[in-house]
Amino acid sequence: KMRIEVGYGLEGTLTDLHTKLIIENDMVPAFRAGDFPGGISKAVDDMIMVLEGNPEELEARGKRNEQAPFNADDLFFAVFISIWAIIFFGSIAASVLPPIFGQKLGPGRYRWLGMTFEPHRRSSSGGGWSSGSSGG
């Protein structure tokens, strides 16, 4: 985390917008590259430029570097929906496509893409839950 503290006398000249642009365009890229002295030096140079009455260049540079903010919630939602859609549509495809494109092996059995597909069959033994009792 980083911030630029501006005293009362400079609040009108070195605004929050300017300090935000200085942090995003000078300090963050240099700090990520491991160049801490260079980031601080660039930030001080830009502060001096704004205090001398030339904030237009800083604002123009900020508009050139403007990017859409990264939102982790949007990424999570997109991944969640993608996984859900793959499972849902994949299960539908696995039940519909083998009879169309697969090789018929027997009643309700198909071979497609190296896999054998067959419907679920109920066993005649009743199945279901066990009573849990056993001799012993």
Interval 52-86: pLDDT, tens: 887 787 777 777 766 656 667 778 888 999 999 99
- The pLDDT, as a whole number, for residue 64 is 72
Which pTM does this prediction carry? Answer: 0.45
Q: Is residue 136 part of a domain?
A: no
Determine how many CB atoms are found less than 10 A away from the CB of residue 21: 21
Report how many domains make up the chain.
2
More reliable by pLDDT, 125 or 116: 116
- The pLDDT, as a whole number, for residue 84 is 93
Query: Is residue 65 a contact partner of residue 25, using CB atoms and an 8 Å limit?
Result: yes
Which span out of 12-26, 68-82, 120-134 was modeled with the highest average pLDDT? Answer: 12-26
Q: Same structural domain for residues 88 and 44?
A: no
Q: How high is the mean pLDDT of the chain?
A: 80
Show the domain range for 26: 8-64
Query: Is residue 119 a contact partner of residue 110, using CB atoms and an 8 Å limit?
Result: no
Examine the pLDDT at 105 and tell me if it is beyond 90: no
Q: Is residue 108 part of a domain?
A: yes
Q: Same structural domain for residues 18 and 51?
A: yes
Q: Is residue 127 part of a domain?
A: no
